[in-house]
Amino acid sequence: MPSSDIAPSAAPPVARLIEAFHRLPGIGPKSAQRLTYHLIRMPQDEAEEFAAAILGVKERVVLCDTCANIAEAVECTICGDLQRDSTRICVVEEPLDVVAVERARVYSGKYHVLHGVISPVNGVGPNDLKLRELLERLRDGTVVEVIVATNPNLEGEATAMYIQQLIGPLGVKVTRLARGLPSGSDIEYADDSTLAHALESRAEIPQRQTGTPE
């Protein structure tokens, strides 16, 4: 939508900023206007800091040469950390997924960011993802396991299947994040494929050593 349609009566610089916000994902015309008028009311120094932060991101942030995660140098902090397990790579769709997995604090291996998933209806194929770079990382034989952590939807599953077919012949173990019922959900509302996966991946309840009823 052109800026004149979003804010027909706004001054040109205001309209331009509204349009810029409107281009961001998830920002509709109303939100774009609200954010713009919030910035107009913002003190000068805060606005300059905000603008400098945007420019800084564009000037200083690059993709890690190894894992394609967002980094400040050619090697990200995770790839440069010698304490981390280099025999395992967790493959994720987007850089934000690295943050999510790191939040769980149970994984100490490396990552690889695909920057998307195979999405035929959107014209995204395997060659549009960072799969060639992933293959390069497996060539020296250090990696023993690739954990595919793409989203548990159809395109994420298809990408996982593709990765499995791609690197399976190299002798590297390919695993997939477990799927099933999320904590706090109701079985009544679960869809058939989630329930099927949950049943297939069911686990034995471990015997407790103490407090077992007679």
Task: Provide the minimum distance between the beta carbon of 162 and another protein in the complex, in angstroms, as a whole number.
Answer: 6
As given in the structure block, the two tokens for residue 104 are: 């769980």
Output 144 or 161, the one with its CB closest to another protein: 161
Where on the chain is the footprint of another protein (CB under 8 A)? 25-26, 118, 120-123, 125-127, 131-132, 135-136, 153-155, 157-158, 161-162, 165-166, 169, 182-186, 189-194, 196
* Structural contact between residues 77 and 71, judged by C-beta atoms closer than 8 angstroms: yes
Q: At its nearest, how many Å lie between another protein and the CB of residue 56?
A: 24
Q: How far apart are CA 193 and CA 138, in angstroms?
A: 32
Tell me how far, at minimum, the Cβ of 68 lies from another protein, in Å.
15
Identify which of residues 12 and 171 has a Cβ nearer to another protein in the complex.
Answer: 171
CB of 192 to another protein, least distance (A): 5
Residues 19 and 36: beta-carbon distance below 8 Å: no
Q: Decide whether 65 or 81 has the Cβ nearer to another protein.
A: 65
Q: Residue 111 or residue 162: which is nearer to another protein going by CB? A: 162
3-state secondary structure 44-98: HHHHHHHHHHHHHHHHHCEECCCCCCEECCCCCHHHHCCCCEEEEEEEECCHHHH
Amino acid at 66: T
